[in-house]
Structure 1
């Protein structure tokens, strides 16, 4: 929530960006030009539309916070840097912050109270703006000299204060040194030999996300996905759910597919990068350049998809129904999915058109688990697909695909991203250790073969009991 400003939008080189304007009575509607300069610079440097879209609100929210906080401090370099580093406390602790300044800010600008990882991501959008402030200010002065913007004393004072923010020297962690040694780009710059580095985020607790396993509320129960598809409010939605469950496509990859990406004879689906299509003007006919720049692509490394059953079969079945009863051939574009008016689905409001209808179908499919249904989103179907392939897929060499095999299916750019799907492996490890300790504690030391047989027998009994409980629950519904 902005207190001192509000947004409008503008277009530069075919891409939309946020324009921050003052809501002050005396300066109402006046543009905060430095942010506009920064966002236009991002566009000119080739940043994707989604990056520009995220950067605007993140920087604007910080400027709004800083503008309020500046009223409660003396404008010394030390105090200004403290206010900057307290922004993390504002984002995560809010009115419970240790800082009196942050608590005062929260009286007029409530904190979103996000997690550490979200705070870090917000800061990653702010830092490029702070680093480039001197160049931005030079451009801002040129605009004033050429009459392209009006001189605003409040803006000049605000920029002068922002320009006093400097990075601190932080110790390089062992993780970062190891990452640099293996040519993995972490969140740092510098040499492996250095012990400290300049950082704007050294005060923010770093959270290693790769090793954090997915929780129950992050993947859709495998045995209920078919129910979800059958409870969809339209054939279009049923197709979309089945496609993601079958291919582990991201939401944006699924709702942007074109008819030419589907081979009905071989029953294959390709997920293609919009930026690498050979004839983009033909492929994306019917939409403007501005809308074309809104197409998302998060770096999927392969077009290959392997359809997981029964969702692959359900996708093609529901697709036939969608074509017969809902698809509008006169829509004027090549996208498979559109709303009831023919507008491409990727251009529709995600919350109302996609997420809300998904949650309605999830509530019906998980009527016995309403707490879980409320927490799940469309992306949970991608998690379910990868979770299955990682842990349960039976094949000639055992069970579950290796990370090197999975990366060919999921399109992840970093193999470490697949670690979080190994939840079953971790549970099995803990069970093995518990069983071994129990047996050895009771003086029952067996050979390795005897131990393995005993372990498998007991684990089989556990699964049998779980299956009985599940069937009992289904019979009672």
Structure 2
């Protein structure tokens, strides 16, 4: 790179990475980017790669500013120029011959840059052009600097305009848009009929317990991993689970690095509506896990713990994401299951939504109203549901109890059986109605 030096970006220590300016000071915006990835639970290999992609993009922007090309340019326009540079330029920023980037590499680069853009948008007090403060002061007049801010993404945010921000939803790059649209139609839910096999394929009681919780509660993976052995989180006697923000609780037992691994997106309700048949399996595997693997003699009360390695018995959410995915894929492989490529553990959340909306048996038929499904998934944005729809908690729990009774203590889901039993009940209703009229 021409204008910056990237330090400590190897997979083993990328969390300490720094991007050093020509004056020898760390770039604040890059520090925030690193902390953002830590909170996201990015794996070591992915984090290391993202550091390099973001640093090279920042260096590219610096080179553009050195030549006076940042005038009236947003960060999104720079991303498009960077894409063209990667795909078509034969010389790097130093004039040295380079190998063009393959289009197949663009999705990873774009993912790294989209995280960077989010940090930029979340830090309106830090101007992207401040990276080149010294250059701007010596090259541009105050009037030119004002125009830069007027046309920059920061200016758009200040004015309340959403034109620039909307582009991040569609992606930063053009070349891979067709691939992205195909991926959105891919199946993301785990096969309902195979979920019980996933539990069998898991070697550890901890993983059986975790998978059963994700399937029965539809919660996000990080929400499950941040669950604590505490009455406010788990009521074993009543068989209830509650998800609460970790940032509203005191957690002095966590180190700074561990605390930065916490994550919270928000939920509309704290209570988790556990569904049969996986609800019973969760509490069964929970008992096995607490009996055989869980270590209660630690300085924290997080339920799920790391069970191997130098960080044994520390909270599971601090472990790299790739190792948890490897455990998940191994459990699938043992049972000859083909897992989804897009969402892995998160696919169980999709399955929960699919099951609740289309298959869960109720006295009135298969599936529950969309409003109930959205509430059960814990979406914090009520705009996803009709504004007039309100959830009655007692009614919801009553419907789940009715569903459990109809499943009659089954330990697995067979969608064909659910369909047959539903039609048999409907036929019986017609017969009863007919017999009533004859009588």
TM, length-normalised to structure 2 = 0.63
The higher relative CO (CA closer than 8 Å, separation ≥ 6) is in: 2
Q: Note closer, same or farther for the CA distance 1:84–1:365 as it changes in structure 2 (3 Å cut).
A: same
Of residues 322, 339, 347, the one that matches 2:318 is 347
Q: Distance in 2 between matches of 1:242 and 1:59?
A: 35
Q: Distance in 2 between matches of 1:240 and 1:320?
A: 12
Q: Distance in 1 between matches of 2:342 and 2:378?
A: 25
Of residues 106, 118, 135, the one that matches 1:113 is 106
Once the two structures are superposed, the pairs formed by residues 88-237 of structure 1 within 5 Å of their partners are 88=80, 90=82, 95-96=86-87, 107=98, 110=101, 112-114=105-107, 118=111, 122-127=116-121, 132-133=126-127, 156-157=134-135, 166=149, 168=151, 197=161, 199-200=163-164, 206=170, 215-237=185-207
8 Å Cα contact 2:37-2:47 kept in structure 1:
no
Q: Distance in 2 between matches of 1:126 and 1:55?
A: 18
Report the 3-state secondary structure (helix = DSSP H, G, I; strand = E; otherwise coil) of the residue aligned with 2:73. Answer: helix
8 Å Cα contact 1:236-1:319 kept in structure 2:
yes
**Consecutive unaligned residues in structure 2, runs of 5 or more:** 10-14, 172-180, 387-415, 421-439
Aligned CA RMSD, in angstroms, stands at: 5.1
Q: Distance in 2 between matches of 1:299 and 1:198?
A: 23
Q: Distance in 2 between matches of 1:134 and 1:116?
A: 19
Q: Note closer, same or farther for the CA distance 1:416–1:101 as it changes in structure 2 (3 Å cut).
A: farther
Equivalent residue for 2:254? Answer: 287
Equivalent residue for 2:210? Answer: 240
Equivalent residue for 2:393? Answer: none
Deviations 1:398-437 (A, max 9, x none): 4332332223211112356589xxxxxxxxxxxxxxxxxx
Equivalent residue for 1:257? Answer: 227
Q: Note closer, same or farther for the CA distance 1:362–1:2 as it changes in structure 2 (3 Å cut).
A: farther
Equivalent residue for 2:59? Answer: 67
Report the 3-state secondary structure (helix = DSSP H, G, I; strand = E; otherwise coil) of the residue aligned with 1:81. Answer: coil
Q: Distance in 2 between matches of 1:52 and 1:319?
A: 24
Deviations 1:271-320 (A, max 9, x none): 1222334xx3xxx4632365335321111121111212221111111111
Q: Note closer, same or farther for the CA distance 1:389–1:415 as it changes in structure 2 (3 Å cut).
A: farther
**Consecutive unaligned residues in structure 1, runs of 5 or more:** 10-15, 138-153, 171-186, 192-196, 420-459, 465-477
| Count of matched residue pairs | 356
Q: Distance in 1 between matches of 2:182 and 2:368?
A: 19
Q: Distance in 1 between matches of 2:239 and 2:163?
A: 50
Equivalent residue for 1:267? Answer: 239
Q: Distance in 2 between matches of 1:267 and 1:78?
A: 58
Equivalent residue for 1:308? Answer: 275
Once the two structures are superposed, the pairs formed by residues 302-451 of structure 1 within 5 Å of their partners are 302-340=269-307, 341-352=312-323, 354-367=324-337, 369=338, 372=339, 375-415=342-382
Deviations 1:129-164 (A, max 9, x none): 686339967xxxxxxxxxxxxxxxx98348978978
Q: CA deviation at 1:335?
A: 1.0
TM, length-normalised to structure 1 = 0.59
Equivalent residue for 1:20? Answer: 19
